[in-house]
Amino acid sequence: MNNNPSADTLQPIHSPVPQKFTLYPAIDIRGGQCVRLLKGDYNQETVYGSPLEMAAKWVEQGAEWLHVVDLDGAKAGEPRNQDLILDIARSHGVTVQVGGGIRSMAQVEMYLKGGIQRVILGTSAIKNPQFVYEALAAFGKRIVIGLDARDGYVATEGWLESSATKAEEVALRLVEQGAQTFIFTDISKDGTLSGPNVEATVRLARTSGAEVIASGGISSLDDLRTLQAQAEQGVAGAIIGKALYQGVFTLQEALQAVRGA
């Protein structure tokens, strides 16, 4: 008998509570440069220069957090830009969450002891759940789970592979092990400026009862306001990439929009 709930029958395990809505400027690193990919495609890359300079720019505009991804690490299955990422955290006094190729407790500890506030585990949630359980037990809320989905199914290995597991199923299992925060990315939206998948983000928050940070597709200040309006459902923040890099709006404008200024 299969006791695992299907995606259609999943129910919230508890009611989310309102949280502060936080904005996370994204810094994706490949080959030592700050880049943006279209829908996670490594062949559709735009280079924006030094990650350290970009971090300084976002901090100057008021960033309280930075969302940093080691794209080389995600593809290789082990960190590749860790020295640069640790330099970002040390140089700018900003709170950083980082993901990309983190597959062992030693790598988690390397980042957390080096000044990173939160470590994001993604592929391991599917391929090595026992490691993720151990990390959650050891470090609690400093472990964030990245759920990157294509058509509702979680993708792994830097989005190069798709799994047969729905995001809500993974979330429910990991909440039972202590997960408190998820980052949800609809890959079809990422880098497209086509608007976030608000429905799927809210569904994940309500199903899991955890905080969910929205990622992918944010194209306007109204998108941010729409997400913030779902804070009581558990949507706790948004990661902003291409809209900032293409100057659709500034980080200052984004912060003002969600603060109601």
Q: Closest by alpha carbon to 20, among 259, 216, 261?
A: 259
Active site residues: 28, 148
By CB neighbour count within 10 A (0-12 exposed, 13-18 middle, 19+ buried), where does 113 fall? exposed
Contact 213, 181 (CB under 8 A): yes
DSSP bridge pairs for 96: 66
Cβ count within 10 A of residue 199: 10
Alpha helix positions (H), the chain: 51-60, 71-76, 82-92, 105-113, 123-127, 129-139, 167-176, 198-208, 221-228, 242-245, 251-259
